[in-house]
Structure 1
């Protein structure tokens, strides 16, 4: 390799290792490891050692003067140069996950030789890595401990530029570069821990076990796939020759937590309710604790090492709900022991084997009590919900240095994840769903009373006093399992550093839901023969709705990749990456309903070491990234399911369950959307020419070392969605073509599904059993008849600065971004819809009208600053600042007129202002996406102080205060403005759904020995 000028300035290179840069770039095929590289005289010997683990590699510098050691565990290393004359030079450096660390021994070109000097870096941040092109940030366990940040992977990832917190409807997840929260991938020690059922959660690694977290926000190499957003890559701590152990306790008392803000009705179109109290949060509580113990050391010195951590956490929460709540004042408790075990075996100097075991099983216990409407009180216990999540992960990884130029890594892992939920009534009766479509969930039914107020005043509101959740529950055996295998190769060939590999990732889900009590009873009022309200001839009716799903579905995925880091000149490196992905989805009958083979994803990049000394880097990338369908799509859309409705007259209502009695059918049973409990024909579920969801990304950036202690950078990013996958439920284009062909379409039918998977805007080839006679007919439907193309773009300019001195370090970033389109992606924050890949965005083409605009993850301005100051040997202080502009607001209402009435999708359209108190009185008025205003800017400051007493070595105390000034700005609101049946304005429009977390305090006591 031609590296005679690469990283030649030893003084700068060594100090760069000490200083580092938080926002750097990743090297290929290093999902759990890093690399060392540098320059020395040809023929000299370089020895890389880690005294803590006994790791040792010795190699001879090549003819071009370059050397490189790939695939080494993150940690501290001593690099020794042995010269022919017997003299030596030594460097102490730190290697981080996914990066290359420069260690240069070459003199010349005005450099200063530092023979025999050992440079030890404090490693507050990471070095400028000119060896690769991707955009990433890395934080070590030491750094995370010094700044006030919540102890979870998402909170750490949100420190990186280009990330924003997603909608609270999907939990604690991050949006990367304008993508939805369902488009990220998460890894630990090279194993994919993303839960691919909906891609909305992942395994939780005990925070004490994390050695480093790498957050990749774009430009990552072809060894990473199945992601359009970002990648969170964690490596765990491991045992060393030095025995270490310790324990800690974190405590967050509710008594020091500020009161959560109340919510009030905010819709100016309903002046009678404007400003009235909606939700009183004064009695809500939230507090918790976590304790951990850990130990690590050598079982056999220099050969076999073990590390383990055991944690227990408990969170107590009381949520009193709205003042209209009748039955669901909740008290929740979460906590199960979690653990991680890491084993490392240095079989020889050239062969390494490791094992990771992780359990994050958790049980959330929620108790539901009766509540007096309009009061904050607690009545009798209704029942208790036990929801399981998490599971166990086991990973084996082998690394072999077969030659000085050829390295191989092999990984196999398996995991399981529980999504089970069971209920127990106050008198001890089990309520659960077993997955049988013909046996709905047991228990009390869900009751909905939509009758107008004057009718409720006559008989009282109908409700249940024994329903525990008021919603659907997962089948009791719900779970997900994953089997993953991958091979990665690293090969030095002259000026080329070639990586190639293969991976398989198979995911199976046992899934299904049923309404608690098996059904919803929906009470409404018929206006009688004259069609007018409150004229004396009205009567009430009730509708029974049953929705049961249950199946075992799976996704099989494999990919090949090839990449080349080509040292074109002494200072210029080119990156060429190629990836081929195959995705295959199977329904509950074991039939494939989607198969996309060898999706091609090319990636290009460059890295220019402008000064030839790692002090100034200019880089760029261009790449294509593809995303598979989640397994959840098949549970209802491609497998047998049951969805029925039937209207009844009734004579009375059970006072406990709220269920009607004295039923008389008003009409026959109806199967909705062709869901009548029979298997679906896999050939009819998706377009034959379906493409995966994919996007193109372009990045151009630079990083520059201002002084020995600080660096700056700037990066521009552009992302554009090229194709999306969603479902379309408008069957009329196929129906009309069939009628024109002289056929007699049969609806509903298992061979003629209402909703089908397609690429919005593209011509779709559907196969359908038109007449339900076993004869399949193929139709090509022009894209414009179904929907407009899916659009999403992200443009961003990022500025960042990092500094490190003897006593303090800090990082700051500012991001200006535009996130625009007609679809958020996998999920839909507008209404909190978590049906990944099957949102309602493109169910009917009318839904996409005026849907183009600024998306929910659009945050125009984000300023992030964090750091720590070491006051003296005993005291340190840290801070974390976030200032961010608010998200756009929508106004969602009904589409009227639509074939003489209101569109059956109700208040799902970007149209508002069509109604008065009496109902629809005129055509819908467009309110394009994002034009109904913006939420306010938010700001928060977190501070901490730590005390390390000299009188007790190893003991530490810390206090973190989050949101010091208790800023509780609104972060999301209800965006549905009209009733979906009548079009009447809703008083709940603009009611806050979430605020900034109130001020809270966390105490820590820790002891290391």
Structure 2
């Protein structure tokens, strides 16, 4: 066999493609394709399931079999003379095509590659000349060999172009500079994204994952409702061979290093620098997970089942900070399960059914402790949080002809977000969503006064508040009903895909502050505006937030796409998608409807040498994102949100609440009218566009040896329109007064905040005088805010290798993520109000807001792989080196109409003197110019042992962050007090560090 033939054999072994192989139906399956002599028969068989399909090679000498479940296949060519050629062990993976050729692309002999045996590949990211996407696929076997945490996000972070999002939003990834709220998640073709805020998703037990596909860009028209990335998982399934097993994963608390302590470090409060803020030495965190599974044929070659039951338990002791009077014990546990059933009705029809539950219960017991002590005292109360729920997915696939395949899917999911409390005396406290506050008698207390003032009254926190936050209404949860139909039709050189999907999502939501209100203590520096001169006085701000409703979003889309083989080695991709989004408030009224948003997709793939050793590719596309249902809970439904400042005479030592209130300030309404419903016609601009962006990718991949390939791609993403809310009514009021109206604020017809496209001219309908008459006003975009901007530029370099005993992947990403909005959420302050952040509430908030965004990581180096020493021992490694995120300095806007702007310390301004008696405004501190966090680096290692004396038994030990590097990964960026403008000692205080070193042990037995 000459070198060229050996190279071709490797190409096949790596799953490399050089003809059209696009796979539709949400990429739950793969395809096999190739060349042979026209008129001959190709038989595709899966020995494990008995699946069998015959097709005839077309007149141009090509064949293609789509919609194949991932697995190992036997491909047989039946020639006209009665002889056959067989390819054994052909690996089909999710979302890709595998080439199996019985003749050359140029029409050569049908025996050209007869001696080639196709084998499974170790390669992690093989060249695929049939695809214009940027995608990474990892199988369960590969994931098991890498020291990586067992969750979808941690696996996704192995792919180039992904970075970990801010801890304020949970364990989520940012793809290509987008916010963590802009991704989509699929299981067996069903969208499991929690669309309420886009900050969660239903999770299958990780042991049930067969393959995970990570789409970081360039995905086809069948995928939508995402500006970030797509995580697509397919589950394990039963075969003719019975299998069963069990395992236990254990992360012992005793082998986990302590998290670093935190200390004050704001140079503008020099007296507090170096003082201890948070002592983490007694915190603990340990967990385990155990699973049992079994699968096999209920009827050989026809009916299969695979099921898993898993139980996880995590216990944490959290002693909070030195300035708190509370600590807690958290327990997170619950059984989860999955069932997968496959029915091969016949060679032309099959049905799949998936059901799984990811419900978890979190029990948090809060205890008193002496101030500045880590001792544990009496129980205050217990919080019970329920999350997750059940999901059901049914899919039909019909191979209706040799060239036409049809699939249909229906899915239903339920997700709970319910919380209730039980006080120490056994009283149950819950919020029913009726706009009445749940009273535990203990408000939430926040104290931002400087140290010399807190000593006067001793206000640190409530000694009886259980959660320190809000309570979700007891029936909070989400329901999704979705269905889709996808077609795949091969017409000559064109592979046409088309489909329709509908996705209806309902959320029951609402929150109220435990104890009814938040009391926030701060210090006014008195007439001279200077600290600690004897004329200071304390003030306290009362905040009440109560809201609740049942809201919905209805969305549907159609798409069509064509993978066109213009020549034997040049593929053109043309796609289009039309999305419709409709949002309904708590009264079932539509307040936003965007119809037929057009999303074109174009791409090409050029197999330069015709042997899949060098690929040039590119794509361009437009992607749109719907408005999340969460917007309607406060912005378009009945709600109450008020703030008011007071002087006070003293403090209740038990609750921390002020007593002797006097001299109240003006009452402020923030997007609320004392619970009155809002007119849906006034909530959003009538000319609202969806949030959308354009993306451009150009890249290449080249095979450099029989076992290695390298590649590079450049990516450019630009946000074209954003949706957010604006709360500055002054431009409308000023115009209304000039027109002779008498505006009424607040009012059901004139909400403070309205949805709009920042920077664009907005057409609002407003009931100016609250008399039921709507007036249309067109407000110029520059009067409300500047244009929303976000761009992402990156260069990704990657190097893959796969040998019999060794595989690895290495990538380096150089990226710039810049703009004046992160997107759906706001990491600067941890704001999770998707699509209604404070970025554009007032025009002044956007001043100097353009710069490097929170997900900007200029440099990222990722290397992972595994080496198999022999049949008994292997080692794996995972290395990450990454530059730090930019830091902001957020302060007050002063002067503003004679005082401080009501949005407090939300502006890119940081003063060198304190507010009150300033000689001038604070200094500008544009976004990202306050420095950067340090580089981080971590090395994870594992070792696995497969004893020869016990077939099926295996042991594994993982060590995460071997050298226990704990660099700061986020800090507090608010530098000034919201009410007074005085510098805060908490500025630059670390919020999160790298996870400390910990060990994970696994024992597993398969039989």
| TM-score tier after normalising by the smaller chain length | over 0.9
Looking at structure 1, the residues matched to 415 and 677 of structure 2 have their Cα atoms a distance apart, in angstroms, of 26
* TM-aligned CA deviation for residue 542 of structure 1: 5.4
Q: Where does residue 163 of structure 1 map in the other structure? A: 162
* TM-aligned CA deviation for residue 704 of structure 1: 1.3
C-alpha contact 1:17 1:94 (8 A) present in aligned 2? no
| 2:11 matches 1:16 | yes
* TM-aligned CA deviation for residue 610 of structure 1: 1.2
Looking at structure 2, the residues matched to 534 and 574 of structure 1 have their Cα atoms a distance apart, in angstroms, of 71
Aligned partner (choices 736, 739, 743) of residue 741 of structure 2:
743
Structure 1 residues 408-458: Cα deviation after superposition (integer angstroms, max 9, x where no partner):
000000000001111111111112111011344545222345566666545
**TM-score normalised to structure 1 length:** 0.96
Q: Where does residue 219 of structure 2 map in the other structure? A: 220
| 2:808 matches 1:810 | yes
Looking at structure 2, the residues matched to 892 and 882 of structure 1 have their Cα atoms a distance apart, in angstroms, of 30
Q: Aligned with 1:904: secondary structure?
A: coil
Q: Where does residue 584 of structure 1 map in the other structure? A: 582
Aligned partner (choices 31, 52, 57) of residue 53 of structure 2:
57
Q: Aligned with 1:295: secondary structure?
A: strand
Looking at structure 1, the residues matched to 731 and 579 of structure 2 have their Cα atoms a distance apart, in angstroms, of 32
Q: Aligned with 1:706: secondary structure?
A: strand
Residue 320 to residue 400, structure 1, CA distance change in 2 (3 Å): same
C-alpha contact 2:325 2:460 (8 A) present in aligned 1? no
Q: Aligned with 2:783: secondary structure?
A: helix
C-alpha contact 1:920 1:984 (8 A) present in aligned 2? no
Looking at structure 1, the residues matched to 5 and 33 of structure 2 have their Cα atoms a distance apart, in angstroms, of 13
Residue 405 to residue 990, structure 1, CA distance change in 2 (3 Å): same
* TM-aligned CA deviation for residue 914 of structure 1: 3.4
C-alpha contact 1:21 1:125 (8 A) present in aligned 2? no
* TM-aligned CA deviation for residue 544 of structure 1: 4.0
| 2:94 matches 1:97 | yes
| 2:827 matches 1:829 | yes
Residue 799 to residue 646, structure 1, CA distance change in 2 (3 Å): closer
Looking at structure 1, the residues matched to 535 and 463 of structure 2 have their Cα atoms a distance apart, in angstroms, of 30
Q: Aligned with 1:335: secondary structure?
A: strand
* TM-aligned CA deviation for residue 29 of structure 1: 3.6
* TM-aligned CA deviation for residue 464 of structure 1: 2.4
Looking at structure 1, the residues matched to 135 and 844 of structure 2 have their Cα atoms a distance apart, in angstroms, of 40
Q: Where does residue 145 of structure 2 map in the other structure? A: 146
Looking at structure 2, the residues matched to 630 and 507 of structure 1 have their Cα atoms a distance apart, in angstroms, of 10
C-alpha contact 2:23 2:29 (8 A) present in aligned 1? no
Matches within 5 A, 1:157-556: 157-327=156-326, 329-449=327-447, 456-461=454-459, 463-522=461-520, 543-556=541-554
Of 952-961 and 458-467, more deviation after overlay is shown by: 458-467
Q: Aligned with 2:11: secondary structure?
A: helix
* TM-aligned CA deviation for residue 322 of structure 1: 1.3
Residue 451 to residue 851, structure 1, CA distance change in 2 (3 Å): closer
C-alpha contact 2:103 2:113 (8 A) present in aligned 1? no
C-alpha contact 1:915 1:921 (8 A) present in aligned 2? no
Q: Where does residue 795 of structure 2 map in the other structure? A: 797
Structure 1 residues 96-119: Cα deviation after superposition (integer angstroms, max 9, x where no partner):
101111111104868882326533
* TM-aligned CA deviation for residue 865 of structure 1: 0.6
| 2:79 matches 1:80 | no
Looking at structure 2, the residues matched to 269 and 786 of structure 1 have their Cα atoms a distance apart, in angstroms, of 33
Aligned partner (choices 811, 816, 819) of residue 817 of structure 2:
819
Q: Aligned with 1:568: secondary structure?
A: strand
Structure 1 residues 202-254: Cα deviation after superposition (integer angstroms, max 9, x where no partner):
11111110000000000000000000000000000000000000000001111
Q: Aligned with 1:416: secondary structure?
A: strand
Q: Aligned with 1:784: secondary structure?
A: helix
Residue 462 to residue 69, structure 1, CA distance change in 2 (3 Å): closer
Looking at structure 2, the residues matched to 609 and 524 of structure 1 have their Cα atoms a distance apart, in angstroms, of 66
Residue 284 to residue 20, structure 1, CA distance change in 2 (3 Å): farther
Looking at structure 1, the residues matched to 126 and 84 of structure 2 have their Cα atoms a distance apart, in angstroms, of 24
C-alpha contact 1:915 1:922 (8 A) present in aligned 2? no
* TM-aligned CA deviation for residue 668 of structure 1: 8.6
Looking at structure 2, the residues matched to 931 and 540 of structure 1 have their Cα atoms a distance apart, in angstroms, of 32
Q: Aligned with 2:811: secondary structure?
A: strand
* TM-aligned CA deviation for residue 711 of structure 1: 1.0
Looking at structure 2, the residues matched to 742 and 299 of structure 1 have their Cα atoms a distance apart, in angstroms, of 78
Q: Where does residue 29 of structure 2 map in the other structure? A: 33
Residue 530 to residue 158, structure 1, CA distance change in 2 (3 Å): closer
Q: Where does residue 62 of structure 2 map in the other structure? A: 66
Residue 126 to residue 91, structure 1, CA distance change in 2 (3 Å): farther
Matches within 5 A, 1:773-792: 773-792=771-790
Residue 923 to residue 306, structure 1, CA distance change in 2 (3 Å): same
Residue 377 to residue 224, structure 1, CA distance change in 2 (3 Å): same
Residue 651 to residue 711, structure 1, CA distance change in 2 (3 Å): closer
Residue 114 to residue 663, structure 1, CA distance change in 2 (3 Å): closer
* TM-aligned CA deviation for residue 255 of structure 1: 1.1
Looking at structure 1, the residues matched to 917 and 481 of structure 2 have their Cα atoms a distance apart, in angstroms, of 55
Aligned partner (choices 893, 896, 900) of residue 894 of structure 2:
896
C-alpha contact 2:36 2:102 (8 A) present in aligned 1? yes
* TM-aligned CA deviation for residue 686 of structure 1: 0.4
Looking at structure 2, the residues matched to 730 and 129 of structure 1 have their Cα atoms a distance apart, in angstroms, of 51
Q: Where does residue 3 of structure 1 map in the other structure? A: none
Q: Aligned with 1:155: secondary structure?
A: helix
C-alpha contact 2:181 2:197 (8 A) present in aligned 1? yes
Q: Where does residue 905 of structure 1 map in the other structure? A: 903
Looking at structure 2, the residues matched to 668 and 311 of structure 1 have their Cα atoms a distance apart, in angstroms, of 55
Structure 1 residues 733-785: Cα deviation after superposition (integer angstroms, max 9, x where no partner):
00011001000000111100111000000000000000001110000000000
**TM-score normalised to structure 2 length:** 0.96
C-alpha contact 2:15 2:128 (8 A) present in aligned 1? no
* TM-aligned CA deviation for residue 857 of structure 1: 0.6
Q: Aligned with 1:420: secondary structure?
A: strand
Q: What is the root-mean-square deviation of aligned Cα atoms in Å?
A: 2.3
Q: Where does residue 42 of structure 2 map in the other structure? A: 46
Looking at structure 2, the residues matched to 288 and 532 of structure 1 have their Cα atoms a distance apart, in angstroms, of 50
Looking at structure 1, the residues matched to 720 and 632 of structure 2 have their Cα atoms a distance apart, in angstroms, of 24
* TM-aligned CA deviation for residue 532 of structure 1: 9.7
* TM-aligned CA deviation for residue 268 of structure 1: 1.2
* TM-aligned CA deviation for residue 58 of structure 1: 0.4
C-alpha contact 2:126 2:800 (8 A) present in aligned 1? no
Looking at structure 2, the residues matched to 299 and 571 of structure 1 have their Cα atoms a distance apart, in angstroms, of 44
Residue 921 to residue 373, structure 1, CA distance change in 2 (3 Å): farther
Looking at structure 2, the residues matched to 543 and 849 of structure 1 have their Cα atoms a distance apart, in angstroms, of 27
* TM-aligned CA deviation for residue 475 of structure 1: 0.7
Of 654-663 and 768-777, more deviation after overlay is shown by: 654-663
* TM-aligned CA deviation for residue 649 of structure 1: 7.0
Looking at structure 2, the residues matched to 893 and 646 of structure 1 have their Cα atoms a distance apart, in angstroms, of 20
Structure 1 residues 978-1008: Cα deviation after superposition (integer angstroms, max 9, x where no partner):
1111111111111111111111100000000
Residue 96 to residue 821, structure 1, CA distance change in 2 (3 Å): same
* TM-aligned CA deviation for residue 671 of structure 1: 4.3
Matches within 5 A, 1:826-865: 826-865=824-863
Residue 954 to residue 431, structure 1, CA distance change in 2 (3 Å): same
Looking at structure 1, the residues matched to 632 and 967 of structure 2 have their Cα atoms a distance apart, in angstroms, of 39
C-alpha contact 1:941 1:962 (8 A) present in aligned 2? yes
Q: Aligned with 2:552: secondary structure?
A: strand
* TM-aligned CA deviation for residue 939 of structure 1: 0.7
Looking at structure 2, the residues matched to 866 and 820 of structure 1 have their Cα atoms a distance apart, in angstroms, of 29
Q: Aligned with 2:135: secondary structure?
A: strand
